[in-house]
Chains A and B, each alone.
Chain A
C-alpha cells in the first residue's frame, strides 16, 4: 500500500494503482478522454497531465503512471493548469465547432472539459482537418471529423467485444478510425462504442437529431430482451421512449448492454395494441373496454381457465394473473411457452448459480446447448474475461463463432454423458469448475445429465479461501423465467398439461411464442402490448403495457431480483397489466384481494418473500441428483438475434439489423 501525497493530502493507495486512480481516491477530478476503467490504458490523449515529484520537471500522463511510495502529486499547480489548457487547445485545433448540430451536445466530454479546463479561445486560424465519412453499419452514425483519436472504440472492440473490426488507419494528424473496408460493425454489443466515444464522432444512428439530453425524462429500468436483466436508463420525451442507455451495475451488465436492448425501443411505438379487440365472425373488431369486459363476463369459465405468461412480463403481472386464475379455482399456470418441462421443484437446479461476476473467475467451463453470443451477449463478455484469465472453455452444440476460442465437442446431448478425457481432466482439476446449460440443453434429459456432472465434478464446493462456489448454471433466455418459476408458473408436464386440460379460457400474458393451434377449443384472452403472434390467435385482446410503461419486479437468470420504474404511459386505451387483471376479476365475479399496485406487490411479497428484497434470491446450494442419459441433436432456439421478441420484431431498426447484418442484404444509403 504505497503512501502518496495528492495536493498536500497524504493517502494510502492500493498496490498497482495509477497516479490517476490515486488522485480520484483523494477526491480530485482528473480530466481524461482515452482512459476508461474497463479498457486497457492507452495514454494517448494527454488530458490527464499532473505534476509528479520525484520525476522529470514536466507534467506527466497520470493514467499510465504507477503510483509509488512517497510521490508528491499536484493537480492544482500552475503547470498542470497550463498543460491542460495546452492539450485542450491542441485537441480543439482539428475539432469542428459544430456543437449546435452535434448529437453529443449536452453530454459531450470534450464540451464539458473544455469549459472546465480549456483556455476559452483558440489561437489557431489555419484550416481544420476534415475526414471522409465512414460507414459503420445501421446502428453507429459516424462523423469522423470530430474524432480526437482516443481509440476507446478500437480497444472496446478488441478487448471487450472480442471482434477486431475497428482500427486506426494512417498516422498522426491523418489518423482515421474505421471498420475494415467500412463494413458494418457486426457484433451484438457494437453500439456500446457510442457511449464510449467521448465526442460526437460515433453517435447513435436511430437516435440521430431526435432530442437533446436535457429534454429527456430519465427513468431507471430493467432490460427484458434477454434473461440477463441488464440495468438500463429509459430516456423518454412526452409519451415516447427515444433511447435506452446502460446503467452501471458491476454485478450484472458492468456498463454495457446489447444492441437489441438498446435499439428495440423504436418498436414500442409500432404495431401497438392501443384498443381492446373482440373476434366477431372470425375478424378482430375494435371495441371499448366496457364491451370487451361485457363479452368476457358472459364466458363463465368456472375453474376451466389457464394462464400462460410471455417472456417479457414482470412478476406483478404474473402474480395478479395467478391470483385471478386461483380465485376461479384453477392452478393451471405456465411460463415456458415452448415444450419445456424440466423439473422446477428445486430452483437452484435451474438457476445461474455462479452469478455473472462469479463466472469470470471460473477456470474450466462446459457450455451445453447455448449460443451465448445471441442468448446472453453480456455473459459472453464475462466468458471472454474468464478465458483471458486462463479458463478453458468447452462447448456442446452446433458451432458458433465464439469470441473466446473454446473447443466444440459435438452437436449431440449425449456428449454430456460421455465427455472426452481432456474435458474430464480439465473439470476435475479445476479449482472453480462450471457448467452452463442453455435452453437447448434443458430438455431430453439434458438438465438431469448436467446435474449428474455437477455431482461428478463436485461443482458445489467450499473454496480454500473459505468462500462458497456453485458452478452449476442454467442460462435462460426469457426475462420473466426465473420470476415465473418463483411464482409457480410451471406445470409438471409444461404447457402440455394446459393443452390436456382443454381450458375454456386461456389468458395469454404477452405470450407470443406459444403454438396457439393447440388451444383451438379455448377462448384466448390476450393481454399484451404488440400485435404479434399472440394477438393473431386471440379471441379477445386487452391492450396492456410494455416494460417501459409499468413499474415491475424482474428476476434475471441469476435469481437476481430487480425493480424497474415506469418511464412513460402506454399509448391509446392500453392500461397497466395488473389493472386489466383486476378488472377481469370483477368481470368474472371473483375477488383477487388487491385494489392497488402496492397491495398487489405486498401480497406478492407475502407469498414469495424473496421478491421483496433487491438482489440475489437464495435458492440454497443443494442440487438434486441428476442421472439418466441425455440424447438428441442440439438446435439453438434463437434463429435471429435481432428478432427474438414482439418489440424487436416491430422495430424498424432491428429489422434492418437483421436484414443487413445477419442476412447480408445490401441496403442502399439515401444520399445525405
Chain B
C-alpha cells in the first residue's frame, strides 16, 4: 500500500469522467444505502457509495474499478458534503483504488504466517508472469500489490484477487487460478488444497485432540 497517490486531476480525466452519474440500477441501490441513515446524517453513506461508484467504474472499464476525482466530486455532491471529506475517506482505505487499476488486482499477503508458508514463491510466480509491484501489467490484465495480513493465516499463504480470496496456495495452484482467470473462468474461491473444504485441520487434529469427541477439561494438565 505504500506509494498510493491520487490520480492527478487533468482535463482528460474531467473529459472522461466529468459526466459520471449512477446507472439506473445503482441509483436505486444508492438511494437505498442513503435511506439506512437518519435524516441529515446522509454523509454516513459515503463508504458504501464510494464502493458502489468504484464498481460502476469497474463495470464500465472491465477492471476492478477505481475512483477518479470527478467521481468523488459526484459522490460529494450526491451526499451534500465537502469533497475534501470524501477524498480523505477514499485515500485512507486501501479498499478504494485511487489510481487506475488492471482487470484483476492481485494482492499477495506477505505477512509472517504467509511468508513462513511460502508467500515468497507466490511473489516470484507473479513476477514471472510479468507483474510488477504497484503497476498494471502491459496487457492491462493484472495489478499487483504486496499487502499485509488479510486474516487468512490458518490457510496461508493466500492471495486476494478482486473480491475473492484464494488460499493454501503453492506456485502451481496460483498459476492454475491465474490461468483460469485469463480464460475468463471463475475459479472456486477459498482453499485451493483439494484435501480441504475450508480451514479445518489438515489430517488429524494436533491441538486439543481430546476435545473432538467430548468437552475435555485440559486445565489439570497445564
Contact = CB atoms under 8 A, between A and B. Distances in A.
Given A166-B84, A167-B84, A174-B4, A181 B91 contact: no
A170 interface: yes
Given A170-B4, A171-B92, A174-B4, A164 B85 contact: yes
B151 interface: no
A165 B81 CA distance: 11
B81 to A, nearest CB: 8
Contact of B85 (A167, A171, A174): A167
A169 interface: yes
Nearest to A132: B5
A180 B87 contact: yes
B215 to A, nearest CB: 34
Interface string A648-663: 0000000000000000
Contacts of B4: 170, 174
Contacts of A170: 4, 91-92
A557 interface: no
A179 B84 contact: yes
B87 A167 contact: yes
B127 to A, nearest CB: 25
A421 B103 CA distance: 59
Contact of B82 (A164, A168, A169, A181): A164
A180 B6 CA distance: 12
Interface in B82-102: 82-85, 87-88, 91-92
B69 A169 contact: no
Interface of B: 2, 4, 6, 9, 69, 82-85, 87-88, 91-92
B88 A168 contact: yes
Contacts of B91: 169-171
A166 B88 CA distance: 10
25 contacts: A164-B82, A164-B84, A164-B85, A165-B82, A165-B84, A166-B84, A167-B84, A167-B87, A167-B88, A168-B88, A169-B87, A169-B88, A169-B91, A170-B4, A170-B91, A171-B91, A174-B2, A174-B4, A179-B84, A180-B82, A180-B83, A180-B84, A180-B87, A181-B9, A181-B69
Interface of A: 164-171, 174, 179-181
Nearest to B90: A169
Nearest to B8: A181
Nearest to A165: B84
Contact of B6 (A165, A168, A169): A169
Contacts of B69: 181
Contacts of B85: 164, 167
Contacts of A181: 9, 69
A369 B145 CA distance: 58
A387 to B, nearest CB: 14
A73 B69 CA distance: 48
Given A165-B84, A169-B92, 5 more contacts: A168-B88, A169-B88, A170-B91, A174-B2, A181-B9
Contacts of A165: 82, 84
A170 B87 CA distance: 9
A382 B177 CA distance: 62
A180 B82 CA distance: 9
Contacts of B9: 181
A223 to B, nearest CB: 30
Contacts of B82: 164-165, 180
A594 to B, nearest CB: 56
B31 to A, nearest CB: 25
A90 B69 CA distance: 33
Contacts of A166: 84
Nearest to A182: B9
A97 to B, nearest CB: 24
Nearest to B82: A164
Nearest to A173: B2
A404 B44 CA distance: 21
The 3 A-B pairs of least Cβ separation, nearest first, read A164-B82, A167-B84, A180-B84
A179 B85 CA distance: 11
Contacts of B84: 164-167, 179-180
Nearest to A166: B84
B152 to A, nearest CB: 22
A167 B92 CA distance: 12
Nearest to A167: B84
Most central of B4, B69, B83, B84 by chain A CB within 10 Å: B84
Contacts of A167: 84-85, 87-88
Contacts of B92: 169-171
A174 B91 CA distance: 10
Contacts of A180: 82-84, 87
A180 B76 CA distance: 12
A480 B88 CA distance: 45
Of the candidates B6, B9, B91, the one having the most CB atoms from chain A within 10 angstroms of its own CB is B91
B168 to A, nearest CB: 31
A163 to B, nearest CB: 8
B11 to A, nearest CB: 13
A164 B85 CA distance: 8
**Chain B CB within 10 Å — which of A168, A171, A179, A180 has the most?**
A180
B15 to A, nearest CB: 17
Nearest to A179: B84
A672 B169 CA distance: 52
Nearest to A180: B84
B66 to A, nearest CB: 16
A350 B6 CA distance: 53
B134 to A, nearest CB: 14
A406 to B, nearest CB: 16
A167 B83 CA distance: 10
A120 B165 CA distance: 48
Nearest to A181: B9
A574 to B, nearest CB: 46
A179 B88 CA distance: 11
A168 to B, nearest CB: 6
A558 B155 CA distance: 72
A520 to B, nearest CB: 53
Nearest to B69: A181
A641 to B, nearest CB: 22
Contacts of A171: 91-92
Most buried by A among B6, B69, B82: B82
A633 to B, nearest CB: 31
Nearest to B83: A180
B99 to A, nearest CB: 13
A164 B84 CA distance: 7
A384 to B, nearest CB: 15
